[in-house]
Structure 1
Amino acid sequence: MQRSAVVVVADKTSLKRPFIFVNSVHMALCFFMLTMAIAWHRDPIQTGKIVSSVSVMAMLSVIGVIGACRGKRWCLILYASGMAIASQTIIVRTALSYQDVYEKRVAREEAKLLSMMPLSGISKANRTLLYRIQEEFECCGLIEGYKDWGASIPASCNCQYPGKCIRLRGSATLGAPKNQYVYQEPCLPIYVSELKRAFSLVMAIQFGSGVFWMVLLVMSIKLIGQIRRKQEFLALLQSNRYVPGAF
């Protein structure tokens, strides 16, 4: 009975395969984020920061997998140290900066749209941007709907959904076809609402990443303990202090 108990303790590295699997998934996510960062971010400085951070996390996972496969505790200790720093940093930073960054970014985007008023004198670049917003969010104008465009309502305001449309009867607006249907809702409140939702999602993903890294940290610490116990048992066998079959 004692012999069986010792063998079970020595061979118990039950976290090895789950640890390797979870870190493999983490590496795949890191490579996906790298691809998205390079493909979609236009700011070289911001892209460089993202690539650098994600590359470090991917490298930590590689080190962790090597440590788990080969039973190298120093690899897992290095992995655990990196995960501890990364998880604590992102959780604290997200919690402390959420409100400030949230309010500043939303206020900046809102002020950017309001600076386009009146729309009759809007620049070409801003006109293209607003056309895209109107088509994507199915709205028209910024504050008072189609009235913001004055005498010239763009085609991006044209509406084909009865629940979202308003009909311009006769010549209520110069340049508008008779009985034209346009989106009723202005874009500013809709765009700001979607911006808040997207920003909250990004912050939630960051916080969730920190929690996920904490889980990996705990798994690595437990795996280090399991590997240490196995190595101690093997050392015990080699020192002839324990002889198989003695019990």
Structure 2
Amino acid sequence: MGKVSIWLKRSYVGLTCFIMITCLVLCGFTLFSHGVMSREEEIDNSSSAAIAVHMFYIFYAASFLFSIFGLFGIFKRKTWALIVFTVGIIICSLASLLVATVLMIGQSMFPHFIKEEYLSMLPLTNATESAREHLDHLQSEYECCGIEQGYKEWMEDIPRSCVCIKYSTYPCVATPRNSTLYEDTDPPVMIYAQPCLPILLESVDELIKGTIGLIVGITLLWAPNTPITESSRQPTSMTYMVTIETPDTT
């Protein structure tokens, strides 16, 4: 391996370190989210969401390992390690673009599936215990009540998860007189006015757009930058031997 330009070496090391830091940050964020969802029993180990999380772990670990090969190759001047790094990052970049493409294609389909799933819970008065627990968490998290028509879908059995917090992001209304939460107090008990489904769909849409932007941005920054040696840029000199025959004058 020939002599490497110092600026090219620094840019290569910087790119590789950026990839490693990005993998650690994203892996930590995924691990934290996975722990929160597991603790709140929102994710099952056999579900598609759990499989996707495990695939993310494998992707981050592979990218981090390839980056180690890249640093080893640039400092120890091992061409094979640089080839492994370059090929590995190309594969990871193609996989990232594939995921981004799937998300862009499914961006218009996900809201339909989510809406269909939540509307199947109606009427809420006949909802199962697991559905009620899920909706309680959803209403507390997104500061909403009901699915599509608001608190009216609960009839008189409005759950306490619909009660407004002190500094609510969304508007609240007074509890209806015929509900179980009604109290003859001043001020009255306030509940969330907006339904959960529109807020949830907006949140999912923003999440998908953010994920696509993150994947495309990282993929563009991860474009492999294989070091070019000075010897490889110099033209190969070739020596030609020319024999000139002169006539004999004697």
> Contact 1:27–1:58 at 8 Å: present in 2 too?
yes
> Contact 1:71–1:227 at 8 Å: present in 2 too?
no
TM-score, normalised by the number of residues in structure 2: 0.74
Match of 2:203 in 1: 194
**1:177/1:46 CA distance change after superposition, 3 Å:** same
Match of 1:133 in 2: 138
Match for residue 109 of structure 2 among 75, 93, 104: 104
Matches within 5 A, 1:112-127: 112-127=117-132
1:46 CA displacement: 2.9
**Separation (CA, whole Å) in 2 of partners of 1:109 and 1:17:** 47
Match of 2:221 in 1: 212
Match of 1:245 in 2: none
Which deviates more from structure 2 when the two are superposed, residues 171-180 or residues 139-148?
A: 171-180
Match for residue 26 of structure 2 among 23, 30, 33: 33
**Separation (CA, whole Å) in 2 of partners of 1:58 and 1:227:** 28
Q: Secondary structure of 2:173's partner?
A: strand
1:194 CA displacement: 0.7
**Separation (CA, whole Å) in 1 of partners of 2:72 and 2:51:** 32
Match of 2:158 in 1: 153
Asked if 1:164 is matched to 2:178, the reply is no
**1:73/1:228 CA distance change after superposition, 3 Å:** farther
Asked if 1:226 is matched to 2:219, the reply is no
Match of 1:21 in 2: 14
Q: Secondary structure of 2:174's partner?
A: strand
> Contact 1:67–1:75 at 8 Å: present in 2 too?
yes
Tell me the percent identity: 23
2:161 alignment partner AA: S
TM-score, normalised by the number of residues in structure 1: 0.75
Match of 2:85 in 1: 79
1:11 CA displacement: 6.5
> Contact 1:140–1:184 at 8 Å: present in 2 too?
yes
Match of 1:59 in 2: 65
Structure 1 spans left out of the alignment, 5+ residues: 1-8, 237-247
**Which structure dedicates a bigger proportion of its chain to helix?**
1
**Separation (CA, whole Å) in 2 of partners of 1:151 and 1:117:** 15
1:30 alignment partner AA: C
1:70 CA displacement: 1.4
**Separation (CA, whole Å) in 2 of partners of 1:151 and 1:188:** 20
**Separation (CA, whole Å) in 2 of partners of 1:174 and 1:37:** 40
Match of 1:184 in 2: 193
Which deviates more from structure 2 when the two are superposed, residues 77-86 or residues 131-140?
A: 77-86
Structure 2 spans left out of the alignment, 5+ residues: 35-42, 238-250
1:114 CA displacement: 1.0
**1:140/1:48 CA distance change after superposition, 3 Å:** closer
2:229 alignment partner AA: Q
1:186 CA displacement: 0.9
1:72 CA displacement: 2.0
2:158 alignment partner AA: I
**Separation (CA, whole Å) in 2 of partners of 1:115 and 1:125:** 13
**Separation (CA, whole Å) in 2 of partners of 1:65 and 1:10:** 16
**1:183/1:208 CA distance change after superposition, 3 Å:** same
Which deviates more from structure 2 when the two are superposed, residues 180-189 or residues 12-21?
A: 12-21
1:79 CA displacement: 1.8
